[in-house]
Structure 1
Amino acid sequence: MSYDQPPYEPGDARPSDGGPQTPSGLTIDPGRLWAGGVATAVVAGLAAVVGLLVCRGVFDIPVFVPDSAGGWDVASTVPYAFGAAAAALLATALMHLLLIATPRPKLFFGWIATLITVIVGVLPFTVDIDVSEQIASAAVGVLIAIVIATLVSGTASRSVKTGVA
């Protein structure tokens, strides 16, 4: 029995049955992707609250964030949680764009997320605050970045199809 299509190579994306396909041969379910993005925003916001609660409430160490004037200020819980949620929605938008426009979207997202996580982890050590405050600020930021990166990546995996045509 012969087939008209070229042989499948492991790792190649294969087109699915329905919907528009991306350059990577994927069919995206945007509703599922964005539902996962909203859920990620909720989890990221809660992770921010937990991080601040542990640092300030348990260890009595303030967490610092950059302020609009270019300095650093103690993080307020509600704005910090909403900022984490906004970052999750931004990461979902980035993933959606990468899924639509790039040949290896998860690879690019992984690199972008990793580099942002490194920046978030290193940035508190570039300012003149106590070492314990630097560590606390970096730890909470890295926690949030890891939560966002893993959940958005996992949601994207469940929001695309690569089946046989």
Structure 2
Amino acid sequence: MSKFKKKNTEGTPAISTASLPDIVFMLLFFFMTATTMKDTDLKIENTLPKANQTAKLHKKEYVMYIYAGKPSERYRATLGGSDRIQLADKMASPSEIRNFIITERAQRNSEDEKYLTASLKIDKNVKMGLVGAIKLELRKIEQLKVNYTTAQGNPVE
């Protein structure tokens, strides 16, 4: 008879749960940093016109988006079928662009004001009168840095 017992080598050892909180935290941190939240809920149809010579805006934090187009199917019953302007998450008239730009400028540093760009995401079927009204309001508030967002492609198609 021996004093020592042989270890049972059958079966697999238990999984250590000591590092489990670290793994969960790393996954949580990864998805928090890799995920971006959508800024606005688009209430208009926005099929961008095509252009073959485009340049990309590099500093998106200095961009203010102004959308124009017909209301999407979901909102057409309440908003009608005519061309509309959307600023952030609400529908607006051209006269409200002034307050939108002032609010956006107030949220930024005074040094950053010279970098602010108004990006117009305008549907390709919007009437030019609405685009002219938007541009006029931007000129009145002295927002002269304007970008027209387009899709890459052949404009003639």
TM range (shorter): under 0.3
Structure having the higher strand fraction is: 2
- TM-score by structure 2 length? 0.28
Structure having the higher helix fraction is: 1
Q: Which has the higher contact order (CA 8 A, sep 6+)?
A: 1
